[in-house]
Amino acid sequence: RLVTEGPTVPNPPKPVNLEEHECVEETYMDPDHAEYNIKVPPPPLVQKPKPPIQRN
């Protein structure tokens, strides 16, 4: 019986992922969420530690 439950458990997770994907799409479409997504990319800009090198 345990063997049957093994493969049965991985099946349910798949539908959950579909729901998560839908939420992600809505987040991208939502303008409020879009601002949050834009705030996430900025971190890379902070990686610009090259200015200090120009001081030399």
Q: pLDDT per residue over 2-52, tens digit each?
A: 555 555 555 555 554 445 545 555 545 555 555 555 455 555 555 556 666
What pLDDT was estimated at residue 43?
A: 53
Rounding to the nearest 10 degrees, give the CA dihedral for residues 18, 20, 23, 29: -80
Main-chain phi, psi angles of 46, to 5 degrees: -65, -25
**DSSP state, 1?**
-
Q: What's the pTM?
A: 0.13
